[in-house]
Copies of this chain bind each other. A is one copy, B any other.
């Protein structure tokens, strides 16, 4: 009897099947990617978020391999959490492996994990799965999609991808392999939905070259270019422009320096000798001879761009005449912080360039027409949109219907939904827990909705603490002590706090009911009537006589 192939988008925040995917056939399983997400604005105090893979833990002995598509945080950022639980070899291309190594070393897991280098074009047998890695263009080098031949049929997974005809590294997405898959017959295509609501075709990275050229020709002083630390091709493009226009280049910030070092060592970044110089040397050159590359384009206050925008960077300051380029787009949710940073840089006299003012960034994800092309190239029987919010998946499904995939052969699912393939059919199986887990400090999963609601309440109107001293008979001794934080500016409100003390004294004389509760309720009403705010109130009762 043939067995079912089970596919589960495991979990993550908002996006489906992005951070982690699970494939199981009989007693063998594969994990694809192990990434993290950053918290949304109302997830107070949370550091980052990982997929909730707890439902897989009782099947961990089935996992034969962990296959990684590329080295972005949302695909490798949870490696230390995943590899602490699953004892299986990891497969990744050289650059991706280099980035994973850094993470595993930091987590002191490096010696415990078997890392295997693969290259686009390789075919690796992992249990009953034959995994073919094929090159795709994206915003970090050395990305792969996966062709996974299973006993149930061939599954093609796009990874994060775009079809760029003129990528910076000259290496387009592997059309031939995709066509070859379709010749063999593809059971199901899993495809990146990120830009499903963007019509047309994502511009090539090549459009950035002329935009940089224009800036490098005109800029009267230093050029400071911000981008993602992992965007190696952008570092390459800046190096090309710097060389052409006679500027030296320097990399500020350890994450970018580290990534560039790994990429150069592995041959993904080619820079003429002497072009990249240390920051302190660059600062001694005439401003017209320098380009600084750095991070911080998401408005992070602690980044170099963030510090420059507030005049509190240590090594160097912004100068009038500086041109700052934001070679990135705001990640959804970061818009306010990014725009605030741009405004502050302008305030300090910099010239600031960002998309859409000039085409200094392009997306790394396919737009609608590319998505349709992929479907036509692969000709899958079944289609499963992944990598995107539910709204992107629905839109991607609409595109798939447009190009002829029958509606009943498309599965728009959420994280935790098991999809089963059996004898050439696709059905939805059970739903396993497939949410996300907050990481806050060293705590993984200990912050749930109740703690989050408490943080919201504290953030909304602050906290008031009342220390009540009572005698044996429950009568108040002295004046109650009232402290507050985040409620009002205490120094200006002495009168209100005195009235609050009187209010507490009044309530305390009526001896019915619990004193603590009575005081908390009375103070809540009193402060609301005075301020229309409801701080969180704690009354402590201490018998002192």
Contacts and interface: CB of A to CB of B under 8 A. Distances in A.
Interface of A: 14, 40-42, 44-45, 197-199, 332-333, 335-336, 339-340, 342-343, 346-347, 352, 354, 356-357, 389-391, 394-395, 414, 440-443, 446-448, 450-451, 454-463, 465, 467, 469, 481, 483, 485-489, 492-493, 530-533, 536, 538, 540, 542-544
A469 B470 CA distance: 13
Contact of A451 (B441, B487, B532): B487
Given A443-B533, A486-B451, A44 B333 contact: no
A540 B455 contact: no
B458 A542 contact: no
B467 A459 contact: no
Which of A342, A487, A543 has the most CB atoms of chain B within a 10 A radius of its CB? A487
A354 B391 CA distance: 10
B332 A339 contact: yes
Copies of chain A in the complex: 2
B343 A14 contact: yes
Dominant secondary structure at the A interface:
mixed
Contacts of A542: 467, 469, 542, 544
A539 to B, nearest CB: 10
28 contacts: A14-B339, A14-B340, A14-B343, A40-B340, A41-B42, A44-B459, A45-B460, A333-B335, A335-B335, A343-B390, A352-B391, A352-B394, A357-B395, A441-B531, A442-B530, A443-B532, A446-B489, A446-B492, A451-B489, A454-B485, A454-B486, A457-B486, A458-B459, A458-B463, A463-B536, A465-B465, A542-B544, A544-B544
Contact of A197 (B357, B440, B451, B544): B357
Nearest to A454: B486
A357 B356 CA distance: 20
B465 A538 contact: yes
Contacts of A40: 336, 340
A487 to B, nearest CB: 7
Contacts of A41: 41-42, 336
Given A352-B391, A542-B469, A447 B532 contact: no
A451 B540 CA distance: 23
A414 B485 contact: no
Nearest to A47: B532
Contact of A531 (B14, B443, B448, B488): B443
A343 B389 contact: yes
A487 B42 CA distance: 16
Contact of A455 (B199, B332, B459): B459
Nearest to A527: B441
A387 to B, nearest CB: 14
A542 B197 CA distance: 62
Given A465-B538, A465-B540, 11 more contacts: A14-B340, A42-B336, A45-B486, A339-B389, A346-B391, A352-B394, A440-B531, A442-B532, A451-B462, A455-B486, A456-B459
A531 B447 CA distance: 11
A45 B442 CA distance: 28
A111 to B, nearest CB: 24
Contacts of A45: 459-462, 486, 533
Nearest to A492: B446
B391 A342 contact: yes
Which of A352, A441, A492 has the most CB atoms of chain B within a 10 A radius of its CB? A441
Given A454-B462, A544-B542, A347 B481 contact: no
A483 B389 contact: no
A347 B393 CA distance: 11
Contacts of A198: 356
A356 B197 contact: yes
Contacts of A442: 530-532
Contacts of A447: 488-489
A540 B465 CA distance: 10
Nearest to A459: B459
Contacts of A395: 357
B443 A488 contact: yes
A342 to B, nearest CB: 5
Contact of A467 (B44, B335, B460, B540): B540
Contact of A332 (B335, B481, B540): B335
A456 B538 CA distance: 19
Contact of A489 (B14, B450, B530, B544): B450
A411 to B, nearest CB: 14
A14 B346 CA distance: 13
Nearest to A342: B391
